């Protein structure tokens, strides 16, 4: 199995759970390793460590149908708070990684929301230590390009929220307020077809 960790990402490929990244408290750094668990054979296989990504945790990952897309996060040193707006695509068939474009990508962040729309990875909110972020981006792996999300009518900026994809909309809910004073019980619905909340 993959080494012990938390604040990692996990996706379901249709046949395997793919786990990647996270924080290993014994090293005080993020990790850039992962594993693939096959429930049919009850067995693990390591993901390639030949990745363009630096060790990180608090990132997000989505499954496109053929690849895992990883974006953002922080690390590698838990105490230095480096934030990333880099990402990569993982192909489990070839067990290879490919960097994705950072041109037009959202600013560096951690603990944001992410969903796969069927054609794009949608990123929203998160934290860069300076502020809870009220912005996001859409990544198209076919064109390897980013586009920003509208902020008009968006929910309150927050961190550690949850998001799901309905088939037509991303629904974001909850999280933590910028002041850290209280949690949030509000949210919003984002429709990429017309870039509206």
Which pLDDT tens digit goes with each residue over 24-34? 877 667 889 99
Q: What pLDDT band is residue 180 in, cutting at 50, 70 and 90?
A: low
Q: Is the pLDDT of residue 179 over 70?
A: no
Rounded to two decimals, what is the model's pTM?
Answer: 0.94
Q: Is the pLDDT of residue 79 over 70?
A: no
Q: What pLDDT band is residue 145 in, cutting at 50, 70 and 90?
A: very high
Q: Is the pLDDT of residue 184 over 70?
A: yes
Average pLDDT, the chain: 92
Determine the pLDDT at residue 77: 67
Residue among 65, 75, 99, 64 nearest 21 (CA):
75
Which pLDDT tens digit goes with each residue over 105-139? 999 999 999 999 999 999 999 988 888 899 999 99
pLDDT, average across residues 49-78 = 92
Q: Is the pLDDT of residue 181 over 80?
A: no
Percent with pLDDT over 90 in the chain? 76
Determine the pLDDT at residue 78: 58
Q: Give whole-number Cα distances, 105 to 21, 45, 64, 108, 150, in Å.
A: 20, 31, 18, 9, 14
Determine the pLDDT at residue 156: 84
Higher per-residue pLDDT: 16 or 6 = 16
């Amino acid at each position: 199995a993959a080494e012990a960790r938390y604040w990692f990402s996990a996706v379901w490929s249709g046949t395997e759970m793919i786990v990647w990244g996270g924080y290993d408290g014994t090293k005080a750094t993020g990790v850039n390793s992962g594993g693939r668990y096959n429930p049919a054979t009850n067995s693990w296989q390591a993901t390639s460590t030949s990745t363009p990504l630096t060790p990180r945790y608090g990132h997000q990952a989505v499954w496109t149908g053929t690849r895992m897309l990883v974006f953002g996060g922080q690390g590698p040193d838990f105490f230095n708070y480096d934030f990333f707006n880099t990402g990569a695509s993982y192909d489990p068939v070839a067990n290879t990684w490919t960097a994705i474009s950072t041109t037009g990508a959202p600013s560096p962040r951690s603990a944001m929301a992410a969903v796969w729309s069927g054609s794009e990875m949608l990123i929203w909110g998160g934290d860069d230590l300076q502020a809870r972020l009220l912005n996001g981006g859409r990544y198209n792996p076919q064109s390897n390009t980013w586009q920003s999300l509208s902020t008009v009518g968006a929910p309150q900026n927050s961190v550690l929220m949850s998001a799901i994809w309905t088939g037509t909309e991303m629904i974001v809910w909850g999280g933590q307020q910028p002041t850290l004073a209280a949690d949030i019980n509000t949210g919003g619905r984002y429709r990429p077809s017309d870039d509206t909340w």
